[in-house]
């Protein structure tokens, strides 16, 4: 038992090992080129398998994938705010698992109530699920504009307003 390293000794040993590797890389001018070539070759070698694996994951994890895509679109647009897959699931459940306008179930699109192109944020307070016909017809209109256009009241339903207020508080 006396030969066993303590957790602190293991941590220090690991840090020293990393420092030695970093120093060796810094001293080798060709390291980065070799590492890049290795990564490129590995990427090419595994491209087909990675695509299949990624497609399978995306199909099995639709809500997290949708959250990834939406966050990426928001980052590219420079929008403020973010959201998680759990928050998207809460939005969907709050909408009764259907379109925010007509309640239709089935394939739903994640929509920004105020579009990113018009300065809308990427947080949960600006997201809603719509059926394809409503989302495609809404285009880059705001939620209020589209509701007015199709003859729905401009305000959100009370349950959704209360839920949004609760999400904003905590």
**How does pLDDT run across 103-158, given as a tens digit for each residue?**
899 899 999 988 988 988 888 888 999 999 999 999 999 988 999 999 888 765 54
DSSP letter for 124, please: G
* Domain carrying residue 161: 60-169
Output the furthest CA–CA distance in the chain (Å, rounded): 79
Which domain CATH number covers 83? 1.10.30
Query: Is 84 a member of any domain?
Result: yes
Inter-residue contact 108 to 86 (CB < 8 Å): no
Kindly state whether residue 75 falls inside one of the protein's structural domains.
Answer: yes
Q: For position 17, what pLDDT does the model report?
A: 92
Look at residue 33 and tell me if it is in a domain.
Answer: no
Confidence band, pLDDT 50/70/90 cuts, at residue 163: low
Specify if 51 maps to a domain: no
Q: What is the distance, to the nearest Å, from the Cα of residue 161 to the centroid of all Cα atoms in its chain?
A: 23
* Residue 2 included in any domain: no
Q: Tell the residue number behind the tokens 């998680």, with chain if given.
A: 84
Number of domains observed in the structure of the chain? 1
Tens-digit pLDDT profile for residues 3-49: 677 888 888 899 999 999 889 888 888 988 999 999 999 999 999 99
Residue among 86, 89, 133, 81 nearest 112 (CA): 81
Q: Give the helix/strand (H/E) hosting 76.
A: helix 62-77
Whether residue 44 lies inside any domain: the answer is no
pLDDT at position 2 over 70: no
At 131 the three-state DSSP class reads strand
């Amino acid at each position: 038992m006396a030969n066993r390293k303590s957790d602190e000794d293991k941590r220090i040993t690991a840090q020293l090992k990393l420092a030695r590797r970093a120093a060796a890389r810094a001293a080798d001018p060709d390291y980065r080129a070799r590492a890049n070539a290795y990564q490129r070759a590995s990427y090419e070698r595994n491209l087909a398998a990675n695509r299949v694996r990624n497609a399978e994951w995306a199909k099995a994890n639709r809500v997290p994938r949708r959250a990834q895509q939406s966050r990426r679109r928001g980052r590219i647009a420079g929008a403020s705010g973010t959201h998680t897959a759990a928050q998207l699931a809460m939005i969907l459940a709050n909408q009764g698992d259907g379109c925010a306008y007509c309640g239709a179930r089935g394939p739903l699109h994640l929509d920004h109530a105020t579009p990113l192109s018009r300065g809308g944020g990427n947080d949960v307070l600006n997201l809603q699920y719509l059926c394809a016909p409503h989302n495609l017809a809404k285009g880059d209109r705001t939620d209020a504009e589209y509701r007015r256009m199709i003859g729905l009241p401009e305000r959100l339903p009370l349950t959704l307003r209360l839920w949004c207020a609760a999400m904003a508080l905590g």
